[in-house]
Structure 1
Amino acid sequence: MQARAARIAAALALAAVAGFAQAQALRPEVGKPLQAAEAMIKAGKYREALAKVRELDGVGGKTSAETVVIERMRLAAASGAGDADTAARSFEALSGGMSSADKLRSIESIAGSYYRNKEYAKAQQWYARYFKEGGTSAANRTLMIQTQYLAGDFAGAARELTAEIQATEKAGGTPQEARLTLLLNAAQRLNDPNVTAYAMERLVVHYPKKEYWADLLSRLQRKPSFSDRFALDVYRLSLATGVMNKASDYMEMAQLAVQAGFPAEGRQVVDKGYAAGVLGTGPEAERHKRLRDLIAKRVDEDKAAQPAAEAEAAKAKDGNALVTVGFNQVVSGQGAKGVATMQQGIAKGGLKRPEDAKLHLGIAQMIAGDAAKAQATLRTVGGNDGAADLARLWALQARKR
């Protein structure tokens, strides 16, 4: 940023020198100090040049041409010296007669000086003015947003960052991770759960790190409206995103799966825990083995009972049993058959929790390997007790497939 500021100051100095050269009939008491200031600017001695220009403040009877050249020289010197207030005053005196290019360079220089001086509220105003005057620099937009944040205008920063992120995605690009985390920080300072969720979701889309997923899932479960009945679904997403790493979580998920009527899923969870080296070791190793043996027995029993369960579900007046049986088929390795059974159950109607059924159908379609259909299904899930939130997160995960 310092190098850019030096280039801008040099450009303003050239404009000032040009104005000096073009000025006619300057009196010696004006011309000589300006010549000295010009030489100092060319040598990069901006503070000395600014002091020399200030000597002219005591000269009386200045013509309009003299005033213009003096203020141009003062603007260049002040810009180079980082004296933002002086540069701003000179700019206001000159702006009516400046070209658009000179005007934008001047505004950028003033904004940058305020930024370097940590006068963020003033910097924010001048960066906003830069864009109002037609500026298009992406670097300056970045700096404007930073000044908004640093000045405490978190709402403004969040608004600009959201627009920037959406524009980048619309153009097919990937938002910078730093921009997404800045949005997250602004949202947290605002205590805005909607913007916070948006920032976290964009982070896991573009930078699916385990810590981002863990944070997102933790925030989801802390929502006052989130229902405890989705504990197994949270574990499913935690396992799918690589977040699960505790033996207690593997054990709890496996037991919940068995209790829900999905022993095959429970066995898969235990197997993954063993493969990850989380289960089967330490002082709880024997307990892990007992659970694995118990689940293996339940899987055998479930296989034997499956034909009867399918027949009973088909005869039921509503589709609840079909949805459960279908999901069990999917996690047992019968993906296409299980998805079809779940769809049959949803179509049959009379569901106790229709949104949960659609959520689980979307998850089943992902397990069965059809991410596109899973996303389409998950987008239809509604509700305010956690089903829609989970569906949105599963849809984000489905995008990776």
Structure 2
Amino acid sequence: MRLSNSGPWLRAALLALPVTVAQVAVTQLQSDLGAQPFASASAQKGEADQRETRRTPALRNQVYEKLSEAQTAAEEENFDAAARVLDGMLSAGGKNELNSYELANVYNLYAFIHYSREDYAKALEAYENVIRQPDIPLAMEINTKYTVAQLHFVQENWRRGVETLLEWFAVSDNPPANAYVLLAQGYYQLDDYPKALSNVEKAINMHKEKGKIPSEQWYNLARFLYFDKNDIPKAVATLEELLTHYPDKQYWVQLSHMYGEQKRDAKQLAAMETAYVQDLLDKGTEQVTMAYLYLNGEVPYKAGKVMDKGLKSDTIEGTSRNYEILGNAWRQAQEIDRAIPAMEQAAAKSEDGELYARLGNIYLDGDEYKKAIDAITKGLQRGGVKRPDTARLVLGMAYFNDEQYAKAREAFNAAGRDERSAQYAKQWINYMESELDRQKKLEEG
């Protein structure tokens, strides 16, 4: 018994990304901004300052004190008070009295206030005002440009975000892996999957080279992109790495399906079984899939156990089809006493006669000839039996074993009218005649 077509489900599962780009950008912004926007912006140092000589204006003491007052209020989440201080610094011509570096710090603190209020549009505008100021420290400009790119992503301005991020890459030394992931997610939103993949691959490799574990979200983005380009081997390898660091039911299930795509049946079964034995498969459809895999792997007893447990706990729906799977599993496992009640349920819930014909086969296996006769007769009367000729052959066998020889001959003759069963029907009639002749001679003694 092979698995039914799982393509649409598999594609939906593999293409589902667990987090949006905007969420990633917000999370990263929260980490980057911290709680000291003024101090971090006004004191940024680094290699960037050494690449370009700028004559940055000094931050005068009276301005520093006002900025510190506003920052203290902001840290206490008294944003209205912080904004009033900044408004006062810009009002009544005060803006013209501030040099570019002082003004950049004012806008930087405004941006932090707007961001804290989740007014991302105003925060973005304020950060762009920071960048517009001439002669600010290069490190401050570079870091603010990165924040602007992130806020474009938060606002779902994907193209502007990518463009700003590329500008940042052009002037940034040793960009971190997070930046490559952000760029990858931007390209993903613009449907430029090749560039998205190359950037997320770079981020993952950067972390691995440093002995760090890449983020689960990074692996998921790479997994999606590999699958979308039908690179099944790399999609599988990514899922295997995901499970090494982030064991989760969905990855075991997806990996099992991917092994199936590769015709690696043993691994497909092993992956799904790993999830099952950990009680991770809590959905009926997943448990039915587990049973199918056991049947495909010629382990029918375990298939029966899975179906039986699921049906009894109501996690597997008690449909005719599911009871049929249970009955087939027990029959293949030679558990006839268990197969019979399962197939009885399946037949009773079915709308046609096919399952009654199969039930008759199982009754015959269990030497319950009269029940076999009743079930097959009911199936043929109901209609919908896929191979009526085969059903009549089995009916003839049941009649023969029940010593109803005339009816057995009638059933065999009916089966023989179909050329597919003609030879078998003839053989059974000949066998029955020889047996009857043998019995007659024994009686005559």
Output the TM-score relative to the length of structure 1: 0.47
TM-score normalised by the chain length of structure 2: 0.43
Larger radius of gyration: 2
